[in-house]
Amino acid sequence: MGIEKHHFIPEDMRGEITLRVNRIQEIMKRSGVEALLLTGNANVFYTSGRFFRGYTYIPLSGEAIYFIMRPDIYDTSSVRSYTIRKPEQIPSVMEENAIALPATVGYEYDDLSFSEVKRLQAVFPDATAADGGAVMREARMRKTPYEIGQMEADGLHQAAVYRRIPRVFKEDMTDVEFQIEIEHILRMEGCLGRARMSGRLMEINMGSVLYGENADAPTPYEFALGGAGTDPSLPVGADGSIMHSGHTVMVDMNGAFNGYQTDMTRVWRIGDIPEKAVKAHDCSRKILRRLEEIGKPGCPVADLYNEAMRIVEEEKLERYFMGHTQRVAFIGHGVGIELNEQPPITGRSKVLLAEGMTLAIEPKFVIPGVGAVGVENTYVVTDRGLRCLTPFEEEIQEL
């Protein structure tokens, strides 16, 4: 059938991959990790521009080495790569090719199972094992111009979908039916239908639609807000309620179109809603405007959180902020290849903002009897403050 052989790393991606590898190596030098053996899905994608089954080996200097298990179909003439059947072959392949064995190897302690890390540690039995995950999280936290471009594209797609949301609403629809129609326009717009997330506490399908009181149902997952879901096996999001006048519906759906993603929330209302809900929504926007201004390189991430809390307290809306029955202690998070990247935006963060970091900031309120309000945008840190990657009108519109 003649499957076409694609370059493992296409020509126009080679400079980009070199830039990323250099960035990783700078952090390795500071961290005392002499080599990284990466196989987690997000890190494989970051270091090669694709997902393949195998390993990216990053030495302290020089180019990355790819150990490819499957599929074995690429034109690899432009990269240093070897075909292997199992990771245990890596040291002998290295020796045969005069590649020095490392004294310290970093593995992805947070991304791989206990069994998988144990197996990989045995591949280099004489090396000291270290956590390489922290190096990778730090490297990926600051995006390259190419990555920011990918996320800009995500934001435009996501905004184009959100623009069509009012069109799919029908009276007496359930929140689940509403969500399904939004999923449909997302997918038709090119959404891949799956957002990468780190860890096992982020189970969700294509995002969250929170209508009315269901916004206050606590979830076991690590999302900002909850929702009961429709089944005890997946307790998050829309619960099948029919949507009635006097309530809000918050839409926080998947923006993954190209291996990256933006995270964006907007709120619509059905009929009129109480003044208190509008006030809280305006408070969310006020917070975003303030953080856009102060979010420059060097600003402590904790300041973003504390400044948000100050504004919330000024407006006496603390009891509704980031949940009501169950509240969370963050107002946003890094976003990129994974939905939950570094840094979480908390009051205890020690991270300083740096140019190119991309953050989803989501000051949200749950108003009892009404629903959730607030805006979430994805931003990139620039020397002029936060630049929005999710350009879409923020007011609460009527459905």
Site for its own copies in 202-221 (CB under 8 A): 203-206, 213, 216-221
Span interacting with its own copies, options 59-67, 185-193, 310-318, 344-352, rule CB under 8 A: 185-193
Residue number with CB closer to its own copies (237 or 363): 237
Residue 36, C-beta contacts closer than 8 angstroms, at least 6 positions apart? 24, 28, 56, 57, 58, 105, 106, 107, 132, 135, 136
- Residue 348 CA to residue 369 CA, distance in Å, equals 32
User: 44, 42, 63, 46: which is closest to 55 by C-alpha?
Assistant: 44
- Residue 331 CA to residue 361 CA, distance in Å, equals 6
AA letter at 86: K
Residue 286, C-beta contacts closer than 8 angstroms, at least 6 positions apart? 311
Cα–Cα separations (whole angstroms), residue 124 to 37, 88, 94, 118, 121: 10, 9, 11, 11, 6
- Residue 30 CA to residue 204 CA, distance in Å, equals 37
Query: Binding residue for its own copies (CB under 8 A) from 29, 86, 118, 310?
Result: 118
Residue number with CB closer to its own copies (88 or 314): 88
- For 164, the enclosing helix (H) or strand (E) is helix 145-168
* Contacts to its own copies from residues 123-162, by CB under 8 A: 131, 133
User: 305, 392, 350: which is closest to 141 by C-alpha?
Assistant: 350
Residue number with CB closer to its own copies (220 or 298): 220
- Residue 134 CA to residue 129 CA, distance in Å, equals 13
Residues linked to residue 386 through DSSP beta bridges, in sequence order = 381
Query: Binding residue for its own copies (CB under 8 A) from 5, 29, 30, 53?
Result: 53
Q: What token pair was written down for 59?
A: 């030495």
Residue number with CB closer to its own copies (27 or 192): 192
* Contacts to its own copies from residues 14-43, by CB under 8 A: 40-41
Query: Binding residue for its own copies (CB under 8 A) from 7, 14, 164, 324?
Result: 324
* Contacts to its own copies from residues 226-285, by CB under 8 A: 226, 230-235, 257-259
Q: How far is the CB of 215 from its own copies (least distance, A)?
A: 9
Q: What token pair was written down for 46?
A: 């970051």
Q: What token pair was written down for 258?
A: 């190209």
φ and ψ at residue 207, rounded to 5 degrees: 130, -165
Q: What token pair was written down for 244?
A: 């009635």
Q: How far is the CB of 81 from its own copies (least distance, A)?
A: 14
* Contacts to its own copies from residues 78-107, by CB under 8 A: 107
Size of the site for its own copies (CB under 8 A): 72
Span interacting with its own copies, options 89-97, 186-194, 280-288, 311-319, rule CB under 8 A: 186-194
Query: Binding residue for its own copies (CB under 8 A) from 103, 122, 201, 354?
Result: 201
Span interacting with its own copies, options 158-166, 179-187, 287-295, 311-319, rule CB under 8 A: 179-187
Span interacting with its own copies, options 223-231, 242-250, 267-275, 311-319, rule CB under 8 A: 223-231
Q: What token pair was written down for 143?
A: 């995006």
Q: How far is the CB of 117 from its own copies (least distance, A)?
A: 4
Q: How far is the CB of 326 from its own copies (least distance, A)?
A: 6
Contact yes or no for 308/289 (Cβ under 8 A) = no
Does position 193 interact with its own copies (CB under 8 A)? The reply is yes
Q: How far is the CB of 276 from its own copies (least distance, A)?
A: 14
Q: How far is the CB of 105 from its own copies (least distance, A)?
A: 13
Residue number with CB closer to its own copies (6 or 289): 6
Residue number with CB closer to its own copies (259 or 343): 259
